[in-house]
Amino acid sequence: MQKKGNKYGTHRVIEPKGVLPQPANKIDNNMDEIYDNEILIDVQTLNIDSASFTDIHNYAIQQAGEGASRDAVMEEVKKEMLLNVELQGKHRNRRTGSGGMLLGRVEKIGDALKGKIDLKEGDKIATLVSLSLTPLRIDEILEIREDVDQVDIKGKAILFESGIYAKIPSDLPEKLALSALDVAGAPAQTAKLCKPGDTVLIIGAGGKSGMLCCYEAKKRVGVTGKVIGMTHSQKSTERLQKLGFCDVVFAGNASDPVAMLEKISELTNGHMADVTINNVNIPDTEMTSVLCTKDDGIVYFFSMATSFTKAALGAEGVGSDVTMIIGNGYTKGHAEITLQELRECKALRDIFTELYA
């Protein structure tokens, strides 16, 4: 008979006791027996969140040493990932605190959940909860695709009763769906926040979440609104211009708030953005987001590199009355909204297929 588990997975917390799995320092990742309200997943791919993978990759380069080969750097990435799981029982980046999500096949469903959920053993799913709270065991790292933040493994994971997931649709390639679902919260929140006539600034517009947000923002603001895409590189600038979702695209340094304030003031005739969506995977972009947004406007920080302290105290310091929203990666219907974007926009689907699938 299976042991009874807590809905939120507190039965897996080893230390400190009394906290939920996400903030816990260590959780139980023993997969030999599952609790009655857990789903055991045979893991195929980990989709590490962008801020976390960027940090791990940069750390691996430092550890491997100057001039090290790609193979040497990837060995350091493997070591860091395995150490994260060994120490914590989950893949939570020990510096950024962020995780990612996974793709796998349902291996076993706890007795208390059978018949109560729309899953059966053998179904292919993507988890829509963070790896930073997911019990995970990595038996072997098979391949690292650093350009898309994905790592193929042999291993097992646990989805708690409260955990959300999406079945992998039959009409989209698995890796394509996984890459989009990883950032599903961003375009879905964009759909909620943007309204006709708004001026919307998207920082990190040329990346995975950024492109989805640009598409959704343009759809919502309509012909009377304006979408401004800030990118980092010439390559992403050209890609976004070609997609045609933005009224203006420019390359800028999101960690240089004064220069970006001047640029957005110029592009908006001093009115600034009604809504700013921050998707970047580097720190110190909080004040660019705040300064480029008008008083009473909205800043949505989707980036896991965001510092709440820097955002809050920085806004106070410049006398900005913006509403700041910390993106939690989930909003109702986020998986459906994001996958539908890929279905209805061929240009977006083609570029995601080229880059991520």
Strand order in the sheet with 293-301: 248-251, 226-231, 199-203, 273-278, 293-301, 323-326
CATH of 185-356, one of 3.40.50.720, 2.40.50.840, 3.90.1150.10, 3.50.50.60: 3.40.50.720
Cα 66-72-77 angle, rounded to 5 deg: 100
The reported pLDDT for the residue numbered 356 is 82
Query: Residue 281 gets which letter from DSSP?
Result: S
The reported pLDDT for the residue numbered 213 is 97
The reported pLDDT for the residue numbered 274 is 98
Q: What are the average pLDDT values for consecutive 10-residue runs of the chain, which has 357 residues? A: 95 96 98 97 95 95 95 97 98 94 97 94 95 98 94 98 94 88 93 97 95 97 98 94 97 97 98 97 94 97 90 96 90 92 94 87
Q: What does the alpha-carbon distance between residue 201 and residue 203 come to, in Å, rounded to a whole number?
A: 6
Whose structure tokens read 């992998």?
A: 168
The reported pLDDT for the residue numbered 60 is 97
Domain ranges of the chain: 10-168, 185-356
- Burial (CB count <10 Å: 0-12, 13-18, 19+), residue 289: buried
Cα 299-305-309 angle, rounded to 5 deg: 65
Those residues whose C-beta lies under 8 Å from the C-beta of residue 116, and which sit 6 or more positions away, are: none
Q: Are strands 165-167 and 248-251 parallel, antiparallel or unpaired?
A: unpaired
